[in-house]
Amino acid sequence: MVGTLGSPRTGRIDAAARAPFGWAPLVVLFIVGLVDRMEANLLSGVLPLVQREWGFSDTAAGSIPTAAALAGAIVAIPAGYFADRYNRTRIIAVVVFIWAVATLGTGLATGFVMFYLMRVLLAAAENIDNPASGSLLADYYPPVTRAKAYGLTRVTTYLGGVGTLLGGVLGEAYGWRNAFMIMVIPGLLTAVLVWMLKEPRRGELDRIVARSAAATGTTGTVAAEPVPAPTPDTVPTTEKVPFGRQMRQVLTIPSLVFVCVGLGLLTLGLAGVFFWLPTLMVRTFGVAAGTAGSVSGLITIAGTLTGTLIGSWLGRTWHGTRKGGRLLAGGGGITIGALVLAVALSMDSLWPMAILTLVACTSMSVAIPNMTACLADVVPASARGLGFAALQLLITGCGAFGSLIVGIASDQLGSLVGGMYILIVPMVIGGLLTLGARASFERDAAKVLDAARHS
């Protein structure tokens, strides 16, 4: 079974197929992302319990995800470098195993310093797999289904509510240490599952789709003669582009820059607001930690999944029918969602706040499938690992300061919700920047397919 998941369904790659390698790779990479977020966001759910035991301030608490995110940002570009040059499935499998070890260390921490260091190690490891996953998806799925593929995998980035919910419930029932210990098991099982994935050839699917489009005069959605899949299990060596030239190539793609900055500002706001949301419910409405974690987690899960499904439908419907249709859906969703969230935070009772936060989360999640699919469309196959590394760097770097900004503002203003309001403005700006990327998207995407056609 090793290396057999993700083989072409019939031994051939069909340019007309929506999933020429089947849906198993999508399922596996979805599980990777979900376990990643569950492990990372356990802290939000158990935070009131950990603070109760060790008595550290809100500023210290907010600095944990900040330090963790900065560690992740440091490894993002090297991770993209390796993803463009080495076996991506093996990179992900090893990284997932390291997650499990770091989660075990968190549960066994004997003091705040060790606890802090384990969270930083976990975040650094988690950021290594993202460029490899993003690059793999573009080689498994053609442009017609990329919005769906990226939507279902990247949605896990925002499904922190699963970990928050589990952290609150497990922490209250069994203690916060056992909540982390339990999460070691899915981490180890996921590492084994990824090891079974077959590595696809870089750019092969782009070349097949582009040549099919040239032969039929279409966008590549009309059937062409199936192309035999490569028989060796190893990935052929690709041209080694100097790193500096590759970096310049990626950073001069206008659509990529707009998308990365827009998603980075969105993440800044979401990281701050949703990290502190359970604590806000405990302090403001007097609910138990388990209840707060459950409500916050359910909001994130339901809103993110609903928004992703809506976004996938809009992306498929608007792509090719409206100029930059996917970015129109994503940027509009972010802008509207941020404004609704501002109203939600002004509510003086739990359930109106929860309902409006759910609406805001749903709206902003429309961007998830559309913006990541757009990034895959505008970056050539040889540099997609680095392209997704740039995205991860911006997301991680911006997300690093969200919780810290709220924590510092809370201590200085004496108001946790006041700190959250500070982050609404950058979220709106992120949505507007995403809308601005529509002007360059079609041109950048056409360049990628044209280059693949002549390769």
What is residue 340's predicted lDDT score, i.e. its pLDDT? 94
Select from 310, 402, 435, 303 the least CA-distant residue to 358.
Answer: 303
> How would you class 27 by CB atoms within 10 Å of its CB: exposed for 0-12, middle for 13-18, buried for 19 or more?
middle
Query: Taking residues 137-144, what's their average pLDDT?
Result: 80
- At 174-205, the pLDDT tens digits run 888 888 888 888 888 998 888 888 888 887 77
**What's the whole-number average pLDDT of the chain?**
79
- At 294-349, the pLDDT tens digits run 788 788 778 888 888 888 788 777 776 777 788 888 888 999 999 999 999 888 88
What is residue 367's predicted lDDT score, i.e. its pLDDT? 83
User: Under a CB-based contact definition with an 8 Å cutoff, are residues 455 and 441 in contact?
Assistant: no
* Cα separation values, 2 from 8, 90, 207, 335, Å: 15, 11, 27, 45
What is residue 230's predicted lDDT score, i.e. its pLDDT? 43
- For the chain, list the domains and their CATH numbers: 21-202+249-453 (1.20.1250.20)
Determine the Cα–Cα distance for residues 361 and 270; give it in Å rounded to an integer: 9
User: Under a CB-based contact definition with an 8 Å cutoff, are residues 245 and 383 in contact?
Assistant: no
Determine the Cα–Cα distance for residues 311 and 155; give it in Å rounded to an integer: 11
- At 244-278, the pLDDT tens digits run 777 787 888 888 888 888 888 888 888 888 888 88
pLDDT at 243 over 80: no
pLDDT at 102 over 70: yes
Determine the Cα–Cα distance for residues 11 and 24; give it in Å rounded to an integer: 15
- At 350-362, the pLDDT tens digits run 889 999 999 999 9
Select from 408, 411, 400, 406 the least CA-distant residue to 421.
Answer: 406
Percent of the chain with pLDDT over 90: 5
Query: Taking residues 105-132, what's their average pLDDT?
Result: 82
Q: How confident is the model at residue 215 (pLDDT cuts 50, 70, 90)?
A: low
- At 419-433, the pLDDT tens digits run 889 888 899 998 888
What is residue 25's predicted lDDT score, i.e. its pLDDT? 87
What is residue 263's predicted lDDT score, i.e. its pLDDT? 84
What is residue 356's predicted lDDT score, i.e. its pLDDT? 94
pLDDT at 123 over 80: no
pLDDT at 41 over 80: no
pLDDT at 233 over 70: no
Residue 12 DSSP symbol: E
Q: What residues contact 52, with CB distance under 8 A and at least 6 apart?
A: none
Which region, left, alpha or beta, applies to residue 14 given φ > 0 means left and ψ of -120 to 50 means alpha?
A: beta
- At 51-101, the pLDDT tens digits run 787 877 777 777 777 787 778 778 888 888 888 888 888 999 988 888 888
Q: How confident is the model at residue 12 (pLDDT cuts 50, 70, 90)?
A: low
Q: How confident is the model at residue 217 (pLDDT cuts 50, 70, 90)?
A: low
pLDDT at 238 over 60: no
pTM across the whole model: 0.65
Determine the Cα–Cα distance for residues 383 and 249; give it in Å rounded to an integer: 8
The first and second tokens of residue 235, run together, are 């990935």
Strands (DSSP E) contained in 212-370 are 227-228
